[in-house]
Structure 1
C-alpha cells in the first residue's frame, strides 16, 4: 500500500487537495455539491482535458507547445468550412477532418523544431502568432453559426432529475474526452513508441545513442497534440453550437498549469495521464469555486500564474541548479 501511495504521490496529493476544497465549498455554498454542478464541471472540463492529454505527450518528450489552443481555433474554423463544402457530413467525417488538420499543424511545429534545431517554445510562440493572426485576418473575427445539425444537436448520455426539478446531464463531449484519455494512456503506457518518447524526454542524448529515431519521436509527440487539438476544437464547437475565432484564445496557460500541476516535468521524461486529468479538474474546481463565491476572475489568473512559476522553479533542472547553491551556503555556515 505504501509503495502504491509513493508511486502516485502527486495524484494522491491532488485528490487530497480537491477533497479539502470540496469540504470548504460545501460549507461556503450549497450549490457546489449538487449533481448538476458536478456534471457541469465535468462537461465543461472536457475540452481542456483533451488539450491536456495531448500537451502531456509533448511535455514528456521534452518539448513544450503554447500554440495548440489557437491551432484548435484555426482547425475548428477550417473544419466548419469544409463540412459546409461537402454538404454537412457526420461525426466520423468531422473528427477525421479536424484530427487530420490538427496533425498537420502539430507536425509543422515539429518540422522547425527538429530540422532547424530551434527550441520548441520559440517555434510555438511564432506559430501561435501566425495561426491566430492569420485566422483573425482572414475571417475578420466573424463567427460561423450555420453548422450541420449533427454538430449543434446536444447528445445526452445520462440525465437525472433532482427533487427540486433541475436536470443534471452528462453529454457527448465527456465521452469523446474519455476516448482521448484512454488512447493517450495506451500510447504512453502500453506501446513501444510511448516508452521511446519517455526515454527521449528523459535523456535525449542517451536515446539517440540507443538508436531511437529522434525525428519520429518529435513528429509523433507534436502530431499527437495536434490530433487532440483538432478534436478539442470540434468538441468546443459542438458544446457552444458556434465557431468563434478567438473562443479558445488563452486556454494554453490554463492547460499548461494543469498538466504541470498533475506531475508532468518541464524538461521531459515524467508525467501520467491520471495526474494530468486530476490537474485539469483541480484547476476547474478552483475556478468553479471562485465563481460560486463571487471572487473576481483576476484572482484565478493570479493562481494560474503562480502554479506555472512554481512548476518552473521546482522542475528538475531548477532543483539541480538550486541544490549546489544551498549546499555551498550550508558549507559556509
Structure 2
C-alpha cells in the first residue's frame, strides 16, 4: 500500500497577506492616528501649532511611560489597575519630602524605589500566591489611593521652587524633558520586548504559562518582575506630574489606569496575553492624547469629551480587530491523500 500527498503551490501574493496580517493592528492604529491628526487639523486652527504640539507630547509623556510597562504586564496575561493610585501616592510622597527639605536627587531615587517595591509586593501575590492580578491590583487601586489621601488629608502639597521642577517643565533643544524621557523608555521597552531573552519569556508566559514553566523558564519570577516595572514606571510618571504641576495631590491621575490600558489595547496588545507591540502602544497613547487635545481645541464640552473619547476608542478597537481577523484568514495549502 502506498500513500501520496500533494501540496498545492503557495498562492501568489500570500507573503504580502502574511506580512499585513502580522502587522495589521499596528497599521490600523497608525492609519487611525493619522486620520485623527488630519481631522483636528481641519476643524481647529491651532492643532498643528508648535506650542500645542509641544504641550501635547508633554502631557502625554506620563501615560506613554506607564503604557510601555503595562504592555509587558498585559503580554503576560496580567493587568495592573493600581498604576493611577501608585502615581498619586508617589506624587504626594515626593511633594511632602521636597517640602520637608530633602535633596531632590535623593527624593527621586527614593520614589523610584518606592514604586518598584509596590510593584514587587503586588507581583508576589500574583506570581507566587496565585491570586489573579485583577484582584490584587484592584485592592492596590483602593489601598494606595487611601494612603495618599491619609498623607495629604485631601490637600494639594506645594513643592518649593528647585531644579526638580525642570523634570516636568524643562526642555532640551526645544523638546520637553518629559517627552525625551518617554521616548527613551519607549526605546528601551521596544528593545526588551522584541530583542531580548526576557521579552521572549514574557511572550511565552502570556501564551502558555504552564508550557513555559515545563521548559525551564522562571515563569513566576518573570510574572512578578513585570509588576515591578509597572510600579517603577508609575513612580517615574508621578515624579514628572509633580514636577510639571509644582505640587503633589492624592487626587492626581483619577482614571489614569483606564487610559493606560486603553492605549495598550488600542495599539494591538492582546488582553489574553501572548502578543504585545511597543510600537502599537506608542501609537495608541498618542492617539488618545490627540483625541483629548483635539476635542478641547474644538471647544467640545468637557462633560461630553469623555463620551466621545470612549466611543472613538471602542470604534477604533473594533475596526482594528475586524481588520486583523480578515487579514489573518489566509488560504491554507490543500492536501490530497491517496492509498
Matches of 2:117 and 2:295, distance apart in 1: 38
Matched, 1:77 2:92: yes
Give the number of the structure with larger relative contact order, counting CA–CA contacts within 8 Å between residues 6 or more apart.
2
Listed as ranges, the gaps of 5+ residues in structure 2 are: 1-14, 326-339
- 2:253 corresponds to: 248
1:314 CA displacement: 9.0
1:115, 1:71 → 2: CA distance? Answer: 21
The aligned residue for residue 125 of structure 2 is 112
The answer to whether residue 215 in structure 2 is matched with residue 200 in structure 1 is: no
- The partner residue of 1:129 within 142, 149, 154 is 142
Deviation per CA, 1:273-326, whole angstroms, max 9, x where unpaired? 1100100110111111111111123433235545469869998xxx9xxxxxxx
Q: Is the 8 A contact 1:151 1:241 kept in 2?
A: no
Q: Partners of 1:308 and 1:134 in 2: how far apart?
A: 33
CA contact (8 A) 1:254 1:304 kept: no
- Structure 1 segments unaligned to the other structure (5+ residues): 160-169, 320-333
Q: What is the TM-score of this pair, normalised by structure 1?
A: 0.84
Say if 2:55 is the partner of 1:50.
no
User: SS at 1:136's partner residue?
Assistant: helix
1:176-201 CA distance string (max 9 Å, x none): 11121122222212221111111001
How has the CA–CA distance of structure 1 residues 135 and 309 changed in structure 2, closer, same or farther, with 3 Å as cutoff? farther
Alignment partner, residue 191 of structure 2: 186
Corresponding position of 2:111: 98
Indicate if the aligned counterparts of 1:260 and 1:308 stay in contact, CA closer than 8 A.
no
Q: CA, structure 1 residues 35+205, in 2 after alignment: closer, same or farther (shift >3 Å)?
A: same
8 A contact 1:188–1:194 mirrored in 2: yes
| CA contact 1:61–1:218 (8 Å) conserved in 2 | yes
Match in the other structure for 2:307: 302
Conserved 8 A contact 2:104-2:164: no
Instruction: Tell me the residue number matched to 1:151.
Output: 164
Residue 211 of structure 1 and its aligned partner are, at CA, apart by 1.4
1:212 equivalent in structure 2? 217
Structure 2 counterpart SS, 1:263: coil
Q: Which stretch of structure 1 is more off in the superposition, 9-18 or 204-213? A: 9-18
Distance 2:121 2:82 in 1: 11
CA shift at 1:5, angstroms? 4.5
What is aligned with 1:8?
Answer: 23
How far 1:6 sits from its partner (Å)? Answer: 4.1
Query: Contact conserved, 2:204 with 2:274, CA < 8 A, in 1?
Result: yes
Decide whether aligned partners of structure 1 residues 269 and 185 sit closer, same or farther in structure 2, where only a CA change above 3 A counts.
same
Q: CA deviation at 1:214?
A: 1.9
Q: How far, CA to CA, are the matches of 1:80 and 1:23 in structure 2?
A: 39
Residue deviations 1:30-70, cap 9 Å, x none? 11122221221111100110111011110011100110111
Matched-pair contact (CA < 8 Å) for 2:95–2:247: no
For the residue of structure 2 that corresponds to 1:70, the secondary structure is helix
Structure 2: distance between partners of 1:17 and 1:175: 24
Alignment correspondent of 2:240: 235
So what's the TM-score if we normalise by structure 2? 0.82
Q: Distance in 2 between matches of 1:312 and 1:226?
A: 30
Helix, strand or coil at the partner of 2:173: strand
